[in-house]
Structure formats: C-alpha cells, structure tokens
Amino acid sequence: MATLFVSDLHLSAARPDKLELFRAFAARAATCADALYILGDLFEVWIGDDDDDATHRLVLEALAALSASGVTVGFMPGNRDFLCGAAFAARSGVNLLPDFAIIELAGERAVLTHGDLLCTQDLKYQRFRRIVRNPLLQRGFLATPLGWRRRIASGTQSRTRASMARKPEHIMDVEPAAVCTVLREHDATLLIHGHTHRPGLHEIVVDGQHCRRLVLGDWYEQDDVAIHADGTLTRLRIAEFLAP
C-alpha cells in the first residue's frame, strides 16, 4: 500500500477542470492508498468554515467519501486556506495537522510542512503571516458577514499577486539553513513540503547525516502527486496516476 502527498491544488470555481481532476483522484486512485496527506493550499482561498461556495462543497464531499472508504486523510492548512477549522475537518473527515507534522514512512522519520515557514528570507511575508495567524484577529474576521470577507479576500489576493511579481525569485524559495534546522529539530531525515511550486527531490547533508527534501508541485500546470511505496518516493502527474 502507498502513502500519497499533494499540495497547492488551489481549487476554485474558476478552474473546473482541476476540480474534476481532484474528484476523480479522490474517488478512484486515492482509495487504493493507506493515507493521503494534503500539505496546504487545497483551495485558492478559504474564508471560513461557514463558506457556502458550491465548489468547496464538492471538494468536502469528495474528501468525506475518501475518508469513509478507510483512507486516512491528513490536511495541513496553507497560506491560502489557513482558516480551515474544526467544522471543515468534521464535514470532510480529514485530520488537521500542525505546521510541522511527523510521520513514519517505512521506518524513516519524515517531517511534513506546507513550506511557507521555510521561506525565511521573505521578511514581508513572514510579518504578514504572523498577523493573519493571530487568533484574536481571526475570530474578529470570522465574525464579519460572509460577503464582506469575500471582498476582503479578493482584494488581498490582488495585492498578493502584485507583491509577488515585484519580489526577487530567490526570496520566495526556501532558505537552506531553515531546512536544516527543521530536520535537526525534528530528528528527521526526510522533509516533504509544497508552497514554492518548484518540485524536485533534493539530497542534503545535515550534521553529517544524509537527508532528503521532497518538494511537491502545484496543480496550476504540474498536477503533481508524490507516492511513497516500498521505501521508494516517486512523483507523477495525476493523469499518469489515474491511468489504468
């Protein structure tokens, strides 16, 4: 049996093809796995568990059916859907994961994270992250009308895209020192994350120990899934994974 990893799907009504791809993935291929870990940004935006968006309902239904089939589904909120909470977890059947989650893969200790906390050179983003993750501010935001939250989220997304276009490429990638620190602090030899949309498997040495960093691809163009089976890590496009 296999363990599957995806990240940065950015599902929304604006991309119906990706929604149907995810529903097919959840209904068919993923049911053969032991576990599926979704490492953030499942949604393009999530403004609260009371969001009645029709696309979101379809995603939750697909996750609930997958969980009911016996597959363990772990979900780690990303920078686009960090407001997913207890009601979301209850409706979808997923297990909410902390910013750094530890799992065992064929005897190897692995740490999972979305990836944004590793981009320590992006100081402006890290300041913004600390603000929006403040529990008091979140409670205040979630207490406002849904329509108002949608307008705020739309404006924030526009400003974020403009800000990213002005940033140097290197500060939007992970900081190698941060990677080493996370592996060292969690006594792990494998780090799996998304966020950067720069997929690949990197070999690194931490304190004389051989380690690996697996970066998951996004679902804008890459449609990426990582598979751990029989001690081997493989990355495929979803279409390849769904093929009979």
Crossing angle for the helix pair 135-142 and 123-132, to the nearest 10 degrees? 60
Task: Report DSSP state, residue 43.
Answer: B
Q: How far is it, in rounded angstroms, from Cα 19 to Cα 187?
A: 37
Which residues lie closer than 8 Å to 41 by C-beta, 6 or more apart?
7, 8, 9, 10, 78, 79, 80, 81, 114, 194, 195, 218
Q: Does the model's pTM come out above 0.75? A: yes
Q: Where are the alpha helices (DSSP H) in the chain?
A: 16-27, 54-68, 86-92, 123-132, 135-142, 146-166, 176-185, 238-242
Show me where the domains of the chain are located: 3-242
Tokens of 67: 């969980």
| 167 or 236, greater pLDDT | 236
Residue 165 reports pLDDT greater than 60: no
Q: How far is it, in rounded angstroms, from Cα 3 to Cα 236?
A: 13
How confident is the model over 111-136, as a mean pLDDT? 95
Q: How far is it, in rounded angstroms, from Cα 40 to Cα 151?
A: 22
Domain 3-242: which CATH class? Answer: alpha beta
Question: Residues 67-109: pLDDT tens digits?
Answer: 999 999 999 999 999 999 999 999 999 999 999 999 999 999 9
